[in-house]
Chains A and B, each alone.
Chain A
Amino acid sequence: MREHEQVNTMIKHHPDDNLLVEFSAGTLAFAQSIAVSSHLHFCDHCRRRAERLNSIGANLMSDCDSVAVSEDLLDKVFSKLDQPGKTEVRVPKGRSKMPRVIDKLLTQQGQPRWQFLTPSLDMARLHTGQQEFEVALHRIKAGGSVAEHDHRGTEITLVLDGSFSDENGIYHEGDFLMRDAGQVHRPLASRDAPCICLSVVAAPVRMTGKFTRLLNPFLSFKPQ
């Protein structure tokens, strides 16, 4: 109990119970699961919570009414066991700085392709093979600030590197924030280092006119 809290005492913001239950049950939207998974990379406390939640799933599964399988199913499985290939080699879990899932996405796509959004903000989209959410990295320059904006759809932000603050507090590496549509804020990176965040936004309502291209959360300006 005590040691694991030393792993990353800076983390103050965690996914709530409902979100973590959905993650553990496998019913959370795939894109949002990327953010929860990335949080677990940083947060031993939530890994333990997730473990406990998984044991709920395991118990329910073990207590479920069994349904007999076909008699030849075991033979079918046996016939496939010795097929070569597919032995899974996994690199042991070192705590590389980036969550493995982000590493993997970046490895597949090559270096992040940063797009200039404003003098203090860049964005690099991550291709996750789904359309309901936009998944992207945002980089706020040291000391940079982001225009005040509201959220068109639920947005999850996970700090990957550095820190930023807004009216409600300061967020460090590993902190997990979920904002509902309509919440307004104005993020500010700390003065000494840039801040890189993962953001997962429910595909926002398309805006009209000249704002159409500004679909990312940091730039969906509040209508005047």
Chain B
Amino acid sequence: MNDPSHRDDEWSQLLESIAQQRCKTSFAQFFNHFSPLLKGFLIKGSRLNHAQAEELVQEVMIKVWQRAGQFDAKKSSASTWLYTIARNSRIDWLRRQANAVTEELAADDLYEDETSETPFSLLQHHRQHNSVHDALAGLPDEQALVLRKVYMEGLSHSEVSEDLALPLGTVKSRVRLALKKLQDVIGREVLA
């Protein structure tokens, strides 16, 4: 908590030993830390009930086990990697609920090209992660609220606009303002 960069390092190492040694103790540690967060994310976010959220937590954690070998600490931080797995599982879950699932595509097919060609160093990832963390904490409430609605509750901009009874344009500009603020901070700290 106090030192997220150190923590993230620890999670990266756990993922590596899960991948290389197929180590179940490491996996249990990873699971014990992240499962309650994932469950919180899914319950708050997608309005899943407890049983559904646990279904999804299981699904995500099994993917962590299966895909640990694809994790590359140079390309992303452990928590960002986990976030993308959780996000994709949530997308597919919601599509299953809406009966929109077909054999054609799954969320993973849409999101496999997300890391850039020129990987960050581990240090840069830590800095990015930390500075995003700090910058988020420094956002004005109204901007932070909109970002949370989008990321946590999984609402589109127009759904946020309905939810908060704000014009769509206002929602969009709050998101842009928040990004600009994050960008300034990240730019300063990561690329320094």
Q: CA A4 – CA B128 in complex, angstroms? A: 18
B79 in contact with A26 (CB, 8 Å): no
Q: Which residues of A contact B128 (CB under 8 A)?
A: 52, 55
Encoded as 1 (CB less than 8 Å from any A CB) or 0, chain B from 51 to 85 comes to: 00110011001100111001000001101101110
Scan residues 146-170 of chain B and give those whose CB is less than 8 A from a CB of chain A.
147-148, 150-152, 154-157, 159
A58 in contact with B114 (CB, 8 Å): no
Q: Decide if A59 is an interface residue (CB 8 Å cutoff).
A: yes
A70 in contact with B54 (CB, 8 Å): yes
Q: Decide if B186 is an interface residue (CB 8 Å cutoff).
A: yes
B156 in contact with A22 (CB, 8 Å): yes
Q: CA A55 – CA B75 in complex, angstroms? A: 12
Q: Which residues of B contact A74 (CB under 8 A)?
A: 28, 31-32, 35
Q: Decide if A192 is an interface residue (CB 8 Å cutoff).
A: no
Q: Give min CB distance, B8 to chain A, whole Å.
A: 9
B109 in contact with A101 (CB, 8 Å): yes
Q: Which residues of B contact A65 (CB under 8 A)?
A: 40, 44
A47 in contact with B113 (CB, 8 Å): yes
B84 in contact with A61 (CB, 8 Å): no
Q: Which residues of A contact B27 (CB under 8 A)?
A: 81
Q: Which residues of A contact B122 (CB under 8 A)?
A: none
A67 in contact with B53 (CB, 8 Å): yes
Q: CA A99 – CA B112 in complex, angstroms? A: 10
Q: CA A165 – CA B103 in complex, angstroms? A: 36
Encoded as 1 (CB less than 8 Å from any A CB) or 0, chain B from 107 to 118 comes to: 101111111111
B103 in contact with A108 (CB, 8 Å): yes
B129 in contact with A48 (CB, 8 Å): no
A64 in contact with B37 (CB, 8 Å): yes
The contact sample of 10 A-B pairs, CB cut-off 8 A, is: A1-B118, A25-B151, A30-B91, A47-B114, A55-B132, A61-B38, A64-B152, A70-B54, A74-B32, A101-B110
Interface residues of A, Cβ cutoff 8 Å to B: 1, 3-4, 7, 17-18, 21-22, 24-30, 33-34, 36-37, 40-41, 44, 47-48, 50-70, 73-74, 76-78, 80-81, 86-88, 90, 93, 99-101, 104-105, 108, 127-130
Interface residues of B, Cβ cutoff 8 Å to A: 4, 24, 27-28, 31-32, 35-41, 43-44, 50, 53-54, 57-58, 61-62, 65-67, 70, 76-77, 79-80, 82-84, 86-88, 90-91, 95, 100-105, 107, 109-118, 128-129, 132-133, 136, 147-148, 150-152, 154-157, 159, 172, 175-176, 179, 182-183, 186, 191
**Additional A-B contact list (10), CB under 8 Å, known A60-B147, A66-B37:** A33-B110, A41-B113, A57-B84, A59-B136, A64-B41, A66-B39, A67-B39, A86-B66, A100-B113, A128-B105
